[in-house]
Protein backbone atom coordinates (compact mmCIF):
# COMPACT_ATOMS: atom_id res chain seq x y z
CA UNK A 1 0.00 0.00 0.00
CA UNK A 2 2.85 2.39 0.82
CA UNK A 3 4.50 1.78 -2.55
CA UNK A 4 1.18 2.37 -4.31
CA UNK A 5 0.70 5.57 -2.28
CA UNK A 6 4.04 6.81 -3.64
CA UNK A 7 3.19 5.70 -7.21
CA UNK A 8 5.97 3.08 -7.18
CA UNK A 9 6.22 -0.56 -8.21
CA UNK A 10 6.82 -3.11 -5.46
CA UNK A 11 10.48 -3.82 -4.65
CA UNK A 12 11.80 -0.67 -6.33
CA UNK A 13 14.75 1.13 -4.79
CA UNK A 14 15.17 2.57 -2.29
CA UNK A 15 13.12 0.10 -0.25
CA UNK A 16 10.42 1.42 2.05
CA UNK A 17 11.14 0.39 5.63
CA UNK A 18 8.66 0.43 8.47
CA UNK A 19 8.77 -0.16 12.22
CA UNK A 20 5.95 -1.64 14.29
CA UNK A 21 4.49 1.13 16.47
CA UNK A 22 1.75 -1.09 17.91
CA UNK A 23 0.43 -4.59 17.43
CA UNK A 24 -2.83 -5.88 18.88
CA UNK A 25 -4.19 -9.43 18.50
CA UNK A 26 -7.47 -10.83 19.82
CA UNK A 27 -7.38 -14.63 20.05
CA UNK A 28 -11.05 -15.55 19.70
CA UNK A 29 -10.95 -19.36 19.53
CA UNK A 30 -8.36 -22.12 19.14
CA UNK A 31 -6.97 -22.44 15.62
CA UNK A 32 -7.23 -26.06 14.47
CA UNK A 33 -4.19 -27.88 13.10
CA UNK A 34 -4.05 -29.56 9.72
CA UNK A 35 -6.71 -27.45 8.00
CA UNK A 36 -6.37 -24.69 5.40
CA UNK A 37 -6.11 -21.23 6.96
CA UNK A 38 -7.34 -18.02 5.37
CA UNK A 39 -5.87 -14.65 6.28
CA UNK A 40 -7.64 -11.51 5.12
CA UNK A 41 -5.91 -8.16 5.39
CA UNK A 42 -7.24 -4.67 4.88
CA UNK A 43 -5.41 -1.35 4.77
CA UNK A 44 -7.42 0.78 7.19
CA UNK A 45 -5.38 3.97 6.95
CA UNK A 46 -2.40 5.18 4.98
CA UNK A 47 -0.62 8.45 5.53
CA UNK A 48 2.80 9.80 4.64
CA UNK A 49 4.53 8.19 7.64
CA UNK A 50 1.96 5.70 9.00
CA UNK A 51 0.07 2.64 7.77
CA UNK A 52 -2.67 0.83 9.73
CA UNK A 53 -3.55 -2.71 8.64
CA UNK A 54 -6.18 -5.02 10.12
CA UNK A 55 -6.23 -8.77 9.59
CA UNK A 56 -8.48 -11.73 10.27
CA UNK A 57 -7.46 -15.40 10.59
CA UNK A 58 -10.18 -17.84 9.52
CA UNK A 59 -10.23 -21.65 9.82
CA UNK A 60 -13.13 -23.82 8.69
CA UNK A 61 -15.30 -20.73 8.23
CA UNK A 62 -14.73 -19.52 11.80
CA UNK A 63 -12.79 -16.40 12.81
CA UNK A 64 -10.01 -17.56 15.14
CA UNK A 65 -8.09 -14.30 15.56
CA UNK A 66 -8.23 -10.65 14.59
CA UNK A 67 -5.45 -8.11 14.73
CA UNK A 68 -4.33 -4.63 13.90
CA UNK A 69 -0.85 -3.25 13.31
CA UNK A 70 0.27 0.36 13.17
CA UNK A 71 3.52 0.69 11.23
CA UNK A 72 5.52 3.91 10.91
CA UNK A 73 8.08 4.73 8.25
CA UNK A 74 11.61 4.23 9.52
CA UNK A 75 13.37 7.56 10.16
CA UNK A 76 16.19 8.27 7.70
CA UNK A 77 18.83 8.27 10.44
CA UNK A 78 18.00 4.59 11.18
CA UNK A 79 18.15 3.40 7.55
CA UNK A 80 21.43 1.54 6.85
CA UNK A 81 23.67 3.65 4.60
CA UNK A 82 25.06 0.64 2.70
CA UNK A 83 21.58 -0.57 1.72
CA UNK A 84 21.98 -3.80 3.71
CA UNK A 85 19.66 -4.88 6.53
Rounded mean pLDDT of the chain? 89
pTM of the model: 0.75
Assigned domain for 82 exists: no
- Whether the per-residue pLDDT at 80 is higher than 90: the answer is no
Confidence of residue 84 (pLDDT cuts 50, 70, 90): low
Q: What pLDDT, in 10s, does the model give residues 18-44? A: 899 999 999 999 999 999 999 999 999
Distance linking the first and last C-alpha atoms of the chain = 21
Assigned domain for 8 exists: yes
Total domain count for the chain? 1
Can you give the residue range of the structural domain that contains 33?
2-76
**Burial class (CB within 10 angstroms; exposed 0-12, middle 13-18, buried 19+) of 84:** exposed
* Nearby residues of 58 by Cβ (< 8 Å), 6 or more positions away: 37, 38, 39, 40, 64
Q: What is the CATH number of the domain that holds 70?
A: 3.10.129.10
Assigned domain for 81 exists: no
Dihedral sign (CA 45, 25, 19, 85): negative
Amino acid sequence: AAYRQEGREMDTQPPLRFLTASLHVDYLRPTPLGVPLEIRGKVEEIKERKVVVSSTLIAEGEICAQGKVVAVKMPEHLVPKDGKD
